[in-house]
Amino acid sequence: MFPVRGGPGSADPDRVTYTNMSLKALLYYAYGVAGSEIEGPAWLGSGKFDVEAQSPPGTTKEQFTGMLRNLLAERFHLVVHRESRELQGYDLVIGKNGPRLKAASDADVIAATLPPAGPALGAAPDAKGYPQLARPGMVYPSVPGSNGHAIHLIARAQTVPDLARILGGLFQHPIMDKTGLEGRYDFTLEFALETLTPDDAPEDLPARIPVALEQQLGLKLEPAKVSIGVLVVDSADKIPIPN
């Protein structure tokens, strides 16, 4: 649920840990691009790696990002470049019956702009067994019994662009926020992923992302050509050089 711990802006700013991550996922944190915005060999999303790193005290987020890019270039012999692409994507707009989002509290709006303090999760789950956020953030555990093919997203004091960015990666198509909704909101969203359902998957999986968005949050996806910057992986080693 928390593949990244620490780093600038967190409660442990000088140390960061990435757990069980593919190189494609690491590229997201190094370059800020979702999976649908990365072009390269298929294996980028398959191998899994653990990364533990330290940075000097006072390192900014921008400096840390540069350090992470250098680390990947050194260890994977990674070479990349950027290009502009027009891709088939979606605009996120308000549905015909209006949005169903709860405005975050004033205290949470302020807390969301500050470095995280205290544990992310509350001590007890909710009535359905899902974790409860103790502070602003977003988590998306799997729905029990869905074999990992359904997600229960929980957001506290998050923005609509935050939601579009996360869903774009899970939906495997870029999603641009065109709702015009500002501010921060509390919401949950349960949906099935865009993956093939195995034979042993339950028949009562929740709706897929487009339907779930409209039914649960009053938001809608409209097909659109989206011009985005793409990160092209020119070359990379499948196995990084040793520690």
Identify whether the C-beta of residue 216 lies closer than 8 Å to the C-beta of residue 100: yes
- Is there a single domain that holds both residue 25 and residue 120? no
Domain assignment present for 242 = no
Q: Dihedral sign, CA of 85, 63, 21, 79?
A: positive
Q: Per the confidence metrics, is the pTM higher than 0.75?
A: no
- Is there a single domain that holds both residue 57 and residue 165? no
d(CA 45, CA 53): 21
Q: How many domains does the chain divide into? A: 2
Structure tokens at 236: 């990379």
Residue segments in the chain with a per-residue pLDDT below the cut of 70: 1-2, 195-203
Identify whether the C-beta of residue 91 lies closer than 8 Å to the C-beta of residue 39: no
- Structural domain that includes position 176: 87-227
pLDDT per position as a tens digit, 171-207 = 878 899 999 999 999 999 999 987 655 555 566 788 8
- Is there a single domain that holds both residue 93 and residue 192? yes
Angle of CA points 135, 138, 141, to nearest 5°: 120
**Spatial CA neighbour of 128 closest among 215, 206, 210:** 206
Domain assignment present for 198 = yes
